[in-house]
Every structure is written in structure tokens, then in C-alpha cells.
Amino acid sequence: MYYTGIHDTSLQVKNMVTKIGENTPPGYPGEYEAWFTVKDGRRVFIRPIKPADQELLLDLFQRLSDHSIQMRFLGHLPGLSPELLDYLTIVNYVSDFAIVAMVVEKKEDHIIAVCRYHSDSQTNSTELAVAVRDDWQGMGLGKEMVRRLLTIARDNGIRRIEAVVDPSNAAFRKLLNALGSPYTSRPLHGFYRFLMEL
């Protein structure tokens, strides 16, 4: 039995759609698995992140340009430590959530985009971040990942979400404009803080 109910027998579907109980942590919300077609017609599979995604996430990080790493992490990051990989892949699917976009390239699974939120109980704030592999940017994927994550956040009772962004990041601002949801933005310690009410 598959979560999505897609009965496609292609290798891609067999590889990607999660079977119940297969490699999933407790509480894995399979209802958020879905296919998405990017602007040039290629299909990608979007699903919640799993602890087993560490290698694939590292692969994504290693393929991001320095500029994308700078925009995503607001600074230079030489690599992802084991602790950071744990932090990025082990989520509780409520106050911490991440979705990944997957494709098969040369018969291997790859994560080509990730979008997450993290709620901080001390500051009572939730922060969103997104990264799309450079060769997949401009295909509508970043917008779709953010759109889906905002829906998930809303489903999980989050009412306000923010993103702290480099002031030169025109792509992220365009993405938010393209989403059509209202937001406010203001300078914050040399960055920009975008705030959305959900």
C-alpha cells in the first residue's frame, strides 16, 4: 500500500513513493508526499525529510554553488558536520519540519531542493529556509516548496513564519511576490526579515 495512491509502475515511482513502515520514523506524515511537474515538464517527488536522508542531503550541499550556500546559510559554510546533519534530518514533523524534492539521475536518487521550518519555543518564533540546487533553479520548484511548507505549517497550528535573508537576495523576494501571500519586510542586523501571517 502506498501513501499517495499513485499506481504508476515506473521505476521512479517504485523508488520514491514511501511504503508504510518502510524506512520511516514514527509519525512520518506520508500524506504530504506528492509529485510536482517543473516548468520544463520534468517530474519531481516531494516528501517529508527522513533521518535516512543524510547522505542525499550532503550530496545536495556539495552540489550547491558558493553563492547559494551563502544565501541559504547567510555566510560561508565549509561543510555539514554530523551534528548539523542530524539537526537537519531528524525533525518532529510538528514544530520542526522539512520537505525534500527528489529526482532520479543516472539511476540514483538525488535531493534537489529542501525547504524547512524550525520553531523556537523560547522566542516563540518560526523560521523558514529553502534551497534549490543551482541547476534546478528558475523552474518553479522553490515557489512550490515554500507554498507546500506554508500549508504544512498552517496545518500544524503555526500562525506566523519568518525568513531572515541576505539583502541582495532578489530571487527570494521574487519568490515571495510570486506566491502572492502578503508579507512584511524590514532590515535586521544587516539582513532582511520577511514576516508572513498564516
Ligand X SMILES: CC(C)(COP(=O)(O)OP(=O)(O)OC[C@H]1O[C@@H](n2cnc3c(N)ncnc32)[C@H](O)[C@@H]1OP(=O)(O)O)[C@@H](O)C(=O)NCCC(=O)NCCS
Residue of 14, 51, 34 whose CA lies nearest to 144: 34
- How many other C-beta atoms can be found within 10 angstroms of the C-beta atom of residue 101? 25
How far from the centroid of its chain's Cα atoms is residue 191's Cα? Answer: 21
Least separation in angstroms between residue 26's CB and ligand X is 28
| Residue 70-89 contact track with ligand X, rule CB under 6 A, x = bound | -xx-----------------
Output 16 or 163, the one with its CB closest to ligand X: 163
Least separation in angstroms between residue 168's CB and ligand X is 10
Q: At what angle do helices 54-63 and 82-89 cross, to 10 degrees?
A: 110
Least separation in angstroms between residue 1's CB and ligand X is 32
Output 48 or 140, the one with its CB closest to ligand X: 140
Which one of 102, 114, 169, 196 is in contact with ligand X (CB under 6 A)? Answer: 169
| 8 A C-beta contact, residue 102 and residue 42 | no
Site for ligand X in 98-157 (CB under 6 A): 129-132, 137-143
The radius of gyration of the chain's CA atoms, rounded to the nearest angstrom, is: 16
The footprint of ligand X on this chain (CB under 6 A) covers a number of residues equal to 23
Check binding of 170 to ligand X (CB under 6 A): yes
Helices (H), the chain: 11-16, 54-63, 66-73, 82-89, 141-155, 170-179
CA–CA gap between residue 189 and residue 151 (Å, rounded): 29
Contacts with ligand X by CB under 6 A lie at 68, 71-72, 129-132, 137-143, 163, 165, 169-172, 174-175, 178
